[in-house]
Amino acid sequence: MSGRVLVGVKRVIDYAVKIRVKPDNTGVVTDGVKHSMNPFCEIAVEEAVKLKEKKLIKEVVAVSCGPQQSQETIRTALAMGADRGIHVDVSGKDYENLGPLQVSKILAALAKQEDAQLILLGKQAIDDDCNQTGQMTAALLDWPQGTFASEVSLEGDKINLVREIDGGLEHIKINTPAVITADLRLNTPRYATLPNIMKAKKKKIVTVKPADLGVDVTSRLEVLKVEEPPQRQAGMKVETVEDLVVKLKEAGRV
């Protein structure tokens, strides 16, 4: 086993920014808006670095797909303790249409190229909320997947995982190599320290193009329209429970 972990990190609009829809309804405003690493990706990086500190894995490689600015996100991962970075350069229209299917094809190709033992991702990105990349990557590689992980422990060449599911907590054991997606309670990401930020400057980031990995990034999806959620309507008061049931039936809710 190579002892190498690939961690996917996505550059997204910062969680605290108020999102505005573009006037032409083709998307949201991203120019000049503050961006940062997707919070679930931060948790994934933290888990990878923890595994390395426990000496269970040997190398953490941070990967990001996007334009030049994605390198900032990789640098943050390096400052948290990743060893090196791979920036998959996707810009312009390709970047606007980049979705989970293309990213998972890229990650699958990189996993093979880097001989990765484990792929750690955030469960979803806070911009599109797709929650698909981890699952698709596992399918493309025909690897087991441990999604919504709230606890991860390595045991030999197997992984014990606790998953947060609707019914409660599910304990599973999967083989490696595998894909794990991080949920909120997996860990609390560390702050990068000043010395680590400075060390991160010396770590390498390699840039590749999707074509180099044999991946076609054309999208199979077309965004028709992006609009704000409807304004909240006023509610209605009713006198009796019977009235409530009648109204619910009228609205087609029951």
Residues found near another protein in the complex (CB under 8 A):
14-18, 32, 34, 36, 39, 42-43, 72, 75-76, 79, 126, 184-185, 188-195, 197-198, 200-201
202 or 237: CB nearest another protein: 202
Question: Does residue 189 contact residue 156 with C-beta atoms inside 8 Å?
Answer: no
Minimum CB separation of residue 15 from another protein in Å reads 5
Q: Which is nearer to another protein, 121 or 192 (CB)?
A: 192
Phi, psi of 21 (to 5 degrees): -85, 140
- Min CB(194)–another protein separation in Å: 3
Between 16 and 211, CB nearer to another protein: 16
Compute CA distances 189 → 36, 71, 93, 233, 254, whole Å: 14, 19, 33, 39, 44
Return the exposure string of 145-179: e unless at least 16 CB atoms fall within 10 Å of the residue's CB, then b. Answer: bbbbbbbbeeeeeebebbbbeeeeeeeeebeebbb
CB of 41 to another protein, least distance (A): 10
Q: Which is nearer to another protein, 16 or 234 (CB)?
A: 16
| DSSP element (H, E) containing 7 | strand 4-8
Our CB check for another protein shows the closer of 14 and 228 to be: 14
Residue 16 C-beta: closest distance to another protein, Å: 4
Classify the C-alpha dihedral 87-91-96-97 as positive or negative: negative
Query: Residue 232, class by beta-carbon neighbours within 10 Å (0-12 exposed, 13-18 middle, 19+ buried)?
Result: exposed
Least distance in angstroms from the C-beta of 19 to another protein? 12
- Least Å from the CB of residue 189 to another protein: 5
Q: Which is nearer to another protein, 4 or 87 (CB)?
A: 87
d(CA 79, CA 82): 7
Q: Are 60 and 5 in contact (CB under 8 A)?
A: yes
